[in-house]
């Protein structure tokens, strides 16, 4: 069956089973590899994308559930002022190590800041707890979210 997905502002048509996870549609069918596979069952957050602005685990989101919603991935998150601010904060504080989880971390952080411009530590914990980093960049992630929150609101 074919699905016409709205991804990063562009309509993309794919021909896959309806129960195919969005993650594999992005990575294998559309060749957009910035979104990562980590666990397959929404335990690690590496596959996080925005669906209508909401941080969503693409590994358990079936393609037939996306409908007409707008999907934003790491490849396009920097097109908004907020997304770019998050990426810049990540660079300012040298957050990344291996970098594999960071697409998901940045997508979760950008969604958090969009809804909560000045998050408390508890709000950061709630929003970021689902994103695992085995390199242990958590302290710099927390600081970078606060750094991004200090920037001018769009």
Contacts to other proteins by CB under 8 A? 16-17, 19-21, 23-25, 27-29, 31-41, 43-44, 46, 73-75, 78, 87, 90-91, 94-103, 106, 124-125, 128-129, 131-142
Pick between residue 4 and residue 43 the one whose CB is nearest to other proteins.
43
DSSP 133-151: -TT--HHHHHHHHHHHHHS
Pick between residue 50 and residue 140 the one whose CB is nearest to other proteins.
140
- Cα 54 from chain centre: 9
d(CA 136, CA 124): 16
67 to 26, 63, 153: CA distances (angstroms): 15, 8, 30
Q: Shortest gap between Cβ of 71 and other proteins (angstroms)? A: 14
Q: Which alpha helices (H) appear in the chain, and where do they start and end?
A: 22-24, 74-77, 81-92, 102-115, 121-128, 138-150
Q: Shortest gap between Cβ of 90 and other proteins (angstroms)? A: 5
Pick between residue 6 and residue 123 the one whose CB is nearest to other proteins.
123
Pick between residue 114 and residue 132 the one whose CB is nearest to other proteins.
132
Q: Shortest gap between Cβ of 16 and other proteins (angstroms)? A: 6
Pick between residue 12 and residue 97 the one whose CB is nearest to other proteins.
97
Q: Shortest gap between Cβ of 20 and other proteins (angstroms)? A: 4
Q: Shortest gap between Cβ of 92 and other proteins (angstroms)? A: 8
Confirm if 107 and 49 have CB atoms less than 8 A apart. Answer: yes
Question: What is the SS3 assignment for 64?
Answer: helix
């Amino acid at each position: 069956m074919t699905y016409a997905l709205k991804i990063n502002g562009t309509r993309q048509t794919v021909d896959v089973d309806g129960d195919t996870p969005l993650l594999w549609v992005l990575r294998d069918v559309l060749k957009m590899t910035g979104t990562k596979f980590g666990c397959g069952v929404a335990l690690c957050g590496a596959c996080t994308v925005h669906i209508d602005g909401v941080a969503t685990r693409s590994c358990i989101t079936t393609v037939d559930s996306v409908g007409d919603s707008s999907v934003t991935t790491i490849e396009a998150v920097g097109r908004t002022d907020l997304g770019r601010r998050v990426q810049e904060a990540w660079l300012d504080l040298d957050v990344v190590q291996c970098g594999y989880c960071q697409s998901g971390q940045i997508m979760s952080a950008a969604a958090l800041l969009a809804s909560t411009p000045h998050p408390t530590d508890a709000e950061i914990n709630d929003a970021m707890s689902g994103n695992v980093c085995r390199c242990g960049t958590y302290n710099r992630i927390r600081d970078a979210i606060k750094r991004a929150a200090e920037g001018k609101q769009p």
